[in-house]
Structure 1
Amino acid sequence: MKRARIIYNRTAGKESIERELPRILERLESYGLETSCHATRCKGDGLEAARQSMERGFDIVIAAGGDGTIHEVVNGLATGGKRPRLGVLPCGTSNDFARSLKLPKDLLQACDVIGQGGIRRIDVGRLDDRFFINVAAAGWLTEVSYEAPSRLKSAIGPLAYYAKGLEKIGSLLHPFHVQLEASDRSFSEEILLFVVANSPSIGGFERLAPQADVSDGRMDVLVVKKGNIADLIHLMGLVRKGEHIHDERILYFQTDFLSITSQKPMRLNLDGEWGGELSGKIEILKGYIEICYPMSMQQRVNLRSQASG
C-alpha cells in the first residue's frame, strides 16, 4: 500500500480544509493510499514537514492550501535525491498554480486526481538556493501580494489583493533599475514590474504569461517598462485579453537562464511569499518534480479496462 502525507494550512480557503478533512482521508484511502496529516503551525513549517515526509519514505506528499503552501512543500522536496510525487489540494486565495494545471476546485475531485494515478513531470525554478514552482516577481505586485493580510485573504479571497493594490496605488509608479542577462539578450532599464513565470496564471490573472508552460523547460520573462497611470490602466485591459505581450511597454521573452542585477534592494516575491532580495541567477530545472495530474478520458477508459480485465 502506498503512503501519502497531507501537509495542510488550516487557515486556507476560509478554513475549508479542516472541515473536509475526514472526507478527504476517506476518499484517498478508497484508492489504497494510507494517508496521514500534518497541520502547519508557522511560516517554514510546511517546508520542514515536506522534508521529513521525504526522509520517512512517503510515496506522495500532498500540499493542501494555496500557492504559499505549495511553495513551502516544493522547497522541502526540492533538495532531495529521491523525491516523492507531489499532490495538490487547492484551497487557497488565488490557487494560481492549481488553476494552470486545471486541477479541480472541489477538494474531493482533487483527491480523485491523486488517487487515479495520472502524473506529469513539471519544471521548477531555482534562484540561487531558493526554489519556486509558479512565479518570481519584483515591483508593485510583490508589495501587494506580500502585504495583503492573511485574515483578509481568508475572508474575501482574491479581492484582498485588489484592496491592497488600491491602498498602494501611489507607489505603482516608483520605477527601479534592473539589468537582465539571458542566453540570447540583455536588457538594462528602469521598470515598474518584473516577472518570471512558470505558468500562465499569476496573481489571479489567468493569462499574465500566456505562452508559459510548466513542462517546456523554459521560463517566461515579463517586464513592464516605466510609465504613467494611464499606461498601467491600458495595460490592465490588455492583460485580460492576453494581448499585453505585444505592447511596446512590455518586454516578453522565454529563456532557460537569467541573471538579474538591481541597483537598489527590491523585495522578491516567490510564489506569493517573501523570497529575499532581487538579484541573482535564475534557472529552470526541467521535469524536476513529478506531480499528480488529471487523467485524460482515454487514460480513464484504459484504467477501467485493466481493472475489469
Structure 2
Amino acid sequence: MEKKMLFLFNPKAGRSEIKNSLADILNIFTKGNYEVLVHPSQSRQDIEETIVRKGADFDLVVTCGGDGSLNEAINGLMRLGNQAPELGYIPTGTVNDFAASHRISKNMLVAARDIVSGSVVETDIGCFNGRYFSYVAAFGAFTDVSYETPQVAKNRFGKNAYILEGIKRIPLLSSYHVVAETDDDEVIEDDVIFGMISNAISVGGFKLARSYDVTMDDGFFEVVFVKKALIDFFNASVMLNALLHPNSDNVYTLRAKKVHVRCEDGLSWTLDGEDGGSCTEATIENIKRSIRIRVPS
C-alpha cells in the first residue's frame, strides 16, 4: 500500500544544492512507495505551520534544509502531540550538527535513501520556555554568529564564514553573572562568558569530547558554562579547548534533565543556531524520546 509523505524544503539553505537534486530525491521517495506532497518553504516559520496544519494526515514528514529548518519541523511535530508522524531529515545547511549526531549523511541522495530504507529511533527534544529545540540552547560568546552571518557568505564560504564572523566579534565579548539550578538541586553561580545546554555530539561543527558521554535518548542534557577569563583571541581559543576537553578549571560541566538559568541583565539565547530571543530567566527541560526519526540502519 502506498504511504503518504509531506516533503518540505528550504530553497535557501546551505549552498542551495536542493535545486539540482530535487528530481532525484523525489524519484527515490516515489520508488520507495511514497506518494509525495512537496512544499517549498515560503517564509520563516512556514515549515512549522505547514506541519501543524497538514502533518497529521501523513505517514512521514521529511524536511530538507539546515538546522533552522529542522527546528521548525521539530516544533511543528511537537505541537501535533500524539498525532505526529515520523520525521526524516535531509541536511543542506552550513553545519548540520543534528545530522552529525544521528549519523545522517550530508549527501542528499544517500540521506534520502536512508529515510526510505533506514530504521526508526526515538530521540530527546529540548523545551526552552515553551519553545522546542532539537539539540542546543546557548548564550554568550559567538552564539549569535550562526544567525548573524549573511546567507551569501555561508553559501560561498561554508563553515569558514562562521569563523570569519566570529573573529569580528572578539572585541565585543562580554561576561554574564548567572545563577543556574538543576532538577537535582545543583547550583552554579558565577560570571561566565558562555553557556550551553545540549543534546548532541557536535556543536558548531565541532565534535565534543567523548568524556561528555552523550546519549541522544537518555532524557539528560549536557550542560556547560565557561568561566569569565581575559577576553582576547587566546582565551577564545581556550574556550573552544574547554568545550572539546571538559576536564578544565575554566569550565563547569554537568548533566541534568531540567535547568533554570537566571541573569538579571538578561541573556540573548540561540536555539539550534537560530535567534532564540532575550530573557532574564529561562527554564530548559529535556522531553525524553519525544520524536521518532529515520536514521541509517
Q: CA RMSD in A?
A: 1.5
Write the letter of the residue equivalent to 1:266: L
1:71 pairs with 2:71: yes
Residue aligning to 1:281 = 283
Write the letter of the residue equivalent to 1:58: F
Consecutive unaligned residues in structure 2, runs of 5 or more: none
8 Å CA contact retained: 1:198, 1:212: yes
| Counterpart secondary structure, 1:26 | helix
Moved more, 216-225 or 226-235: 226-235
Residue aligning to 1:163 = 164
| Counterpart secondary structure, 1:168 | helix
8 Å CA contact retained: 1:120, 1:291: yes
| Counterpart secondary structure, 2:63 | strand
Give per-residue Cα distances to partners, 1:106-162, cap 9 Å, x unaligned: 111111111014110000000121000010000123222221112211221111111
Q: CA deviation at 1:237?
A: 4.0
Structure 2 Cα separation of the partners of residues 79 and 169 of structure 1: 38
Residue aligning to 1:91 = 92
| Counterpart secondary structure, 1:80 | helix
Q: CA deviation at 1:53?
A: 2.8
Residue aligning to 1:44 = 45
Residue aligning to 2:236 = 232
Structure 1 Cα separation of the partners of residues 140 and 285 of structure 2: 20
TM-score with structure 1 length normalisation?
A: 0.90
| Counterpart secondary structure, 1:284 | strand
8 Å CA contact retained: 1:217, 1:287: yes
Structure (1 or 2) with the greater strand fraction: 2
Structure 1 Cα separation of the partners of residues 78 and 24 of structure 2: 29
Q: CA deviation at 1:213?
A: 2.1
Residue aligning to 2:5 = 4
When the two structures are aligned, how many residues end up with a matched partner? Answer: 290
Residue aligning to 1:211 = 213
Q: CA deviation at 1:54?
A: 1.5
Q: CA deviation at 1:37?
A: 1.1
Residue aligning to 2:62 = 62
| Counterpart secondary structure, 1:15 | coil
Superposed, which structure 2 residues align to 1:1-309 within 5 Å?
1-55=2-56, 57-81=57-81, 82-172=83-173, 174-184=174-184, 185-207=186-208, 210-228=212-230, 229=232, 230-237=234-241, 239=243, 242-243=244-245, 245-278=246-279, 279-295=281-297
TM-score with structure 2 length normalisation?
A: 0.94
Structure 2 Cα separation of the partners of residues 14 and 212 of structure 1: 30
Q: CA deviation at 1:15?
A: 0.9
| Counterpart secondary structure, 2:266 | coil
| Counterpart secondary structure, 1:11 | coil
Q: CA deviation at 1:235?
A: 3.8
Q: CA deviation at 1:282?
A: 1.0
